[in-house]
């Protein structure tokens, strides 16, 4: 059984706007007290679209993996370099853009790439 490290009730984080093609996305990363990423949220400018729904699912899965101790760099490595629409000169896809934005936010925040499992663990 997987264990997750529960996020504290009060969280610190940051939100960054990014674009791929004509699509705007807002990526929020919330951090544990030790500056490790624990949650990812994605808001796509075109609400109600298939891409918006899929990005919300990806963000939920991303958060679950982080809280179960999967290193952020392992998650983003699997998202980088996939090519599909929407894309532009800077990003191969919206998934590639999400991975790059999360990496950038975490780098700016000074976060670690792996979880500290000495924190309280909570069963799913």
Residue range 101-109: average pLDDT?
92
Determine, yes or no, domain membership for 82.
yes
The answer to whether residue 118 is domain-embedded is: no
Q: What is the mean pLDDT of residues 49-76?
A: 93
**Tens digits of residue pLDDT in 71-89:** 999 999 999 988 998 889 9
User: Which pLDDT score is estimated for 110?
Assistant: 76
- pLDDT tens for 2-22 read 788 989 999 999 999 999 988
Position 69 in a domain? yes
Does residue 4 lie in a domain region? no
Q: What is the pTM of this model?
A: 0.85
Q: Identify which of 54, 69, 2 has the alpha carbon closest to the alpha carbon of residue 23.
A: 54
Residue 120 lies in a domain: no
Domain residues for the domain of 52 are 13-112
Supply the pLDDT for residue 104: 94
Give the C-alpha distances (Å, rounded to integers) separating 92 from 6, 55, 70, 87, 95.
Answer: 33, 15, 24, 5, 8
In a domain, residue 67? The reply is yes
């Amino acid at each position: 059984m997987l264990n997750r490290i529960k996020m504290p009730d009060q969280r610190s984080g940051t939100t960054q706007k990014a674009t791929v093609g004509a699509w705007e996305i807002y990526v929020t990363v919330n951090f544990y007290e030790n500056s490790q990423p624990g949650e990812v949220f994605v808001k796509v400018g075109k609400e109600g679209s298939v891409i918006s729904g899929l990005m919300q699912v990806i963000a939920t899965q991303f958060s679950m993996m982080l809280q179960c101790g999967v290193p952020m760099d392992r998650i983003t490595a699997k998202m980088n370099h996939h090519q599909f629409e929407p894309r532009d000169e800077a990003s191969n896809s919206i998934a590639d853009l999400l991975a790059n934005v999360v990496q950038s936010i975490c780098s700016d925040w000074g976060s670690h790439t792996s979880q500290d499992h000495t924190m309280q663990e909570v069963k799913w």
